[in-house]
Structure 1
Amino acid sequence: MTKVAIITGGLSGMGLAIAKRLHAAGTTVCIGARRGNDPAAVAKLHEQIGAPIAVVGLDVRDSASVAAFVEKVVADHGRVDILVNTAGVYEEAPVIGHSDQIWDDTIDTNLTGTFKMIRAVMPGMVAQKFGRIINLASVAAHNGMPDNAAYCTSKAGLLGLGRCVSLEGAAHGVTCTSISPTWVETEMLKQFVDQEIADTGATRAEVQAKYEASNPQGALVQPSEIADLVAFLVSDAGRAITMEDIQVNAGSLW
């Protein structure tokens, strides 16, 4: 039976790579994203994947939006077998003077949004005795960073959430794991590089080399590597892997 996967935030970065990988494996992929109602963003996605797949507007912060999205996927495809939560935001601020807006948006998107998606799909997974839930955390879940209280907190919270989901799903064939990458060569990282170039006047090659040298392997993690790991975890071979956080850190803990 063809499996049905939901990927939140799947229009770019690791979410896009995961969508491409699962689609190539024959999985029915349904993407939910804030830009899911943007025809240009959807057209670009279809071009990158090489095939039209379902893309719907989704705000994981909003319970009604989450419920409507999941209901549509079930109505269209009959079930949800896989949930990959990659929707996330990042904005820096020191603790002193940290705005409520940055805190609330980060926690609501990265942590509470993941919870709301799991809450929406888990009854169906339990009923069908099969489910694979993957949460995209970060090495920031394990290590602090200056000016990143909201982000580190949101990612650390995913680890606790995943442990609870794992225990509640274990007897019903539902697993829940998280993946904690170090720097991955995504659009978000490109923004950091661009900002550092603007702030310091360094060349792109110099800034890129600094990020690459930040781990002992001397190379950035690629989105496709995260996608391959997800493909394994959601397969039948990943049945016994649950309540686990896998750090893809290239030998570095920052």
Structure 2
Amino acid sequence: MASLSGRSAIVTGGLTGQGLAIAHELAKAGASVAVGSYVGEAAGRQGDAAAYPEPTEVSDVRDALNSYGSKVFAGHLDVRDTPAIKRFIADAEAHCGPADILVNAAGTTAEQPVSGHPDDLWLKIIDTNLNGAFRMTRELLPGMIARRWGRIVNIGSTAATVGWKDNPAYCASKSGLLGLTKCVALEGASHGVTSVMVSPTWVETELMRRNVAQVVARDGSGRTLEDAMADIAAQNPQQRLIQPTEIAALVAFLCSEAAKGITAENIQITGGALW
């Protein structure tokens, strides 16, 4: 494992799923880690499949990350709200120092065809997955450029390049995120700042389980959630689902000094499958 000792990282969506696995991997590598997520939104999600953590989970994550001996900050972060982002970054930097690493892992999705797609649901998905990453990057990129070192890793999806039925907002958001990744890479290239997107296929997380549950509810097949999960795994050439720890290991490498030449890339982790 490459050492990230002396580096400070911010991970959005860092209290659950892939973001949480990434936070653990960065902390294990020696980085100070600040994690934020939209905490406590359980009702009125309008079909939103995200697994928002409860407030009690924040302290649990903080305690777990503290076990690695790194500086840790964990708190509420709404990437749709610029003032909230500024407050979170100020608190994070007070605890962990100026951010050298940004991992944009906050995300959501919903099962909804284009026909009849509600505006508010479309805008929420785009605002979280794409605009949230833009806002975080806009706040942190100038400091990285000034210090002449930075790593920005955006958690994308194979949906960025392959459409998926009944997920237009999610696919559009990840396609936009790929464009943002490449533009940031060009802006930071001469200043020691890299920008990369990591795009997995299905990853076994609570968000995936909620999304698949929506699919099962829509198709009327009578399948159980576990049967549907097994069907998806069977479609993968490796006959399995990608694990969050696989994403985390790659992200930690991309944040290391050894990866300084890797930028403007979309790296897929698929087990051979697109979807």
TM above 0.5, one fold? yes
Q: What CA deviation, in whole Å up to 9, does each residue of 1:93-125 have, x standing for no partner?
A: 111111101111011110001000000001110
> Unaligned regions of 5+ residues in structure 1, if any?
none
Moved more, 50-59 or 102-111: 50-59
Aligned alpha-carbon RMSD (Å): 1.9
TM-score (norm. length: structure 1): 0.93
Moved more, 40-49 or 161-170: 40-49
Q: What CA deviation, in whole Å up to 9, does each residue of 1:27-51 have, x standing for no partner?
A: 1010111118954111332455463
Compared CA separation, residues 152 and 123, structure 1 to 2 (3 A): same
Structure-1 separation of matches of 2:76 and 2:119? 26
Q: Give the partner amino acid of 1:13.
A: G
Moved more, 83-92 or 51-60: 51-60
Question: What does residue 43 of structure 1 align with?
Answer: 59
Q: Work out whether residues 196 and 202 of structure 1, in 8 Å CA contact, stay in contact via their aligned partners in 2.
A: no
Question: What does residue 261 of structure 2 align with?
Answer: 240
Q: Work out whether residues 184 and 222 of structure 1, in 8 Å CA contact, stay in contact via their aligned partners in 2.
A: yes
Overall identity of the aligned pairs, in %: 49
SS, match of residue 246 in structure 1: strand
Moved more, 39-48 or 133-142: 39-48
Residue 26 of structure 1 pairs with residue 47 of structure 2: no
Counterparts of residues 153-192 of structure 1 (less than 5 Å)? 153-192=172-211
Structure-2 separation of matches of 1:193 and 1:164? 33
Structure 1 position 195, deviation (Å)? 4.6
| 1:128 paired residue among 147, 151, 173 | 147
Structure 1 position 203, deviation (Å)? 4.2
Question: What does residue 252 of structure 1 align with?
Answer: 273
Q: Work out whether residues 83 and 133 of structure 1, in 8 Å CA contact, stay in contact via their aligned partners in 2.
A: yes
Question: What does residue 78 of structure 1 align with?
Answer: 97
Question: What does residue 213 of structure 1 align with?
Answer: 234
Structure-1 separation of matches of 2:215 and 2:111? 14
Moved more, 205-214 or 156-165: 205-214
